[in-house]
Amino acid sequence: MDFGLVLQTDPPSSDVVDLMRRAEGNGFRYGWTFDSAVLWQEPFVIYSRILEHTTTLTVGPMVTNPSTRTWEVTASTFATLNEMYGNRTVCGIGRGDSAMRVAGRKPNTLATLGESIGVIRDLAEGREATVDGSTLRLPWVRDGRLPVWMAAYGPKALALAGRKADGFILQLADPFLTEWMVKAVRTAASDAGRDPDAITICVAAPAYVSDDLAHAREQCRWFGGMVGNHVADLVARYGEHSGLVPDALTTYIKAREGYDYSHHGRTGNPSADFVPDEIVDRFCLLGPVEAHIEKLKALRALGVDQFALYDMHDAKEAVIDAYGAEIIPALQD
């Protein structure tokens, strides 16, 4: 199992670089960041610095979207980083939540997202692609490689990921939901004539290593609020108890009363006060080292290839070090 570190690009950017260097030294192979240009600093500028100060780390957004930047700009940015540092990027992409809504726009349609996946990949790897009716190619790209991983929850998005993406990003670590969603992605891949086992499965969630479970929950409760933002969209689209989305994902948002993006992804987010302890425990990795190892082995058995650790809490360095010293080695057997 691979491991990734997920950060917000809060200033100073030097802290982001230092944490990524620390992660690489502890055995993490991927460095991810949020991508919302209004809420945080521009990640692609910081990726260049991270790549310069690491040796093997692969970096990318968790996640970008098709509208913040035009597709040829997104592809060219990845291709430039790859030319400079040797194909060490990955494009995580989704419809767009915080980046779009904070700017007063709606998230992209799945049709737009699906088209963008192929175009961005083709352009970044040096092939021709059609953008807004024009055939484009980046003539300077040589031997470029850009895996595109798609974030999804709902049935139509999961099917799209299976048909189009190189990887699937699931932003929660509940084994029951992971099994359900991985099966949906792989079934769609198989139905599309693709090798379902060739799709990389990445589970992303906060992790907090501590015997003080109550404190760990409070440090990570924000995540249930962030996921609830996506779940609310699913309930609005499919309704409750539809059979298309598991009740295990949707029932907890009944007490949700809106969402304030100024606290997005942050400890103490008041928009997450509706999230019960049960959801925090299910969606995150909390507790002593042994609890993390046990849950990660369960996820690995379900086909998860990477665990990407959201490190937004008061113990960033300690959790990175605990994973490097005890947890990552235990998942390498």
In terms of Cα–Cα distance, which of 87, 37, 29 is closest to 67? 37
Is the separation of the CB atoms in 82 and 53 below 8 Å? no
For 15, the token pair is: 């802290």
3-state SS class at 312: coil
Neighbour-count burial of 189, counting CB atoms closer than 10 A to its CB (0-12 exposed, 13-18 middle, 19+ buried)? buried
Give the CA distances from residue 155 to residues 79, 235, 246, in Å, rounded to whole numbers and listed in that order.
31, 12, 10
Phi-psi map region of 159: left, alpha, beta (phi>0 left; psi -120 to 50 alpha): alpha
The DSSP result for 44-102, as a single string, is: HHHHHHHHHT-SS-EEEES-B-SSSS-HHHHHHHHHHHHHHHTS-B-EEE-S-SHHHHH
Give, for 113, the enclosing helix (H) or strand (E): helix 110-124
Q: What are phi and psi for residue 36, nearest 5 degrees? A: -140, 105
In angstroms, rounded to a whole number, what is the distance separating the alpha carbons of residues 93 and 96? 8
Confidence at residue 180, expressed as pLDDT on a 0 to 100 scale: 95
Residue type at 139 in one-letter notation: P
Give the CA distances from residue 221 to residues 140, 290, 312, in Å, rounded to whole numbers and listed in that order.
46, 21, 11
What angle separates helix 289-301 from helix 175-191, to the nearest 10 degrees?
Answer: 20
Confidence at residue 310, expressed as pLDDT on a 0 to 100 scale: 98
Cis peptide preceding 63, ω within 30 of 0: yes
For CA atoms 204, 296, 90, 170, the dihedral sign is: negative
Is the separation of the CB atoms in 209 and 219 below 8 Å? no
Neighbour-count burial of 260, counting CB atoms closer than 10 A to its CB (0-12 exposed, 13-18 middle, 19+ buried)? exposed
For 90, the token pair is: 């990955």
Taking CA 170 as the corner, what is the angle to CA 191 and CA 70, rounded to the nearest 5 degrees? Answer: 85
Confidence at residue 120, expressed as pLDDT on a 0 to 100 scale: 98
- Chunked into runs of 10 residues, the chain (333 residues) has average pLDDT values of 98 98 98 96 98 98 97 98 98 92 91 98 98 97 98 96 98 96 98 98 98 98 89 83 83 84 88 93 98 98 98 98 98 86
Taking CA 171 as the corner, what is the angle to CA 168 and CA 173, rounded to the nearest 5 degrees? Answer: 105
For 114, the token pair is: 């699906």
What predicted TM-score, i.e. pTM, was given to this entire model? 0.95
Locus of tokens 């490097």: 324
In angstroms, rounded to a whole number, what is the distance separating the alpha carbons of residues 60 and 62? 7
Confidence at residue 179, expressed as pLDDT on a 0 to 100 scale: 97
Could you say which DSSP state residue 40 is in?
Answer: S
Give the CA distances from residue 312 to residues 26, 44, 219, 316, in Å, rounded to whole numbers and listed in that order.
18, 20, 8, 7
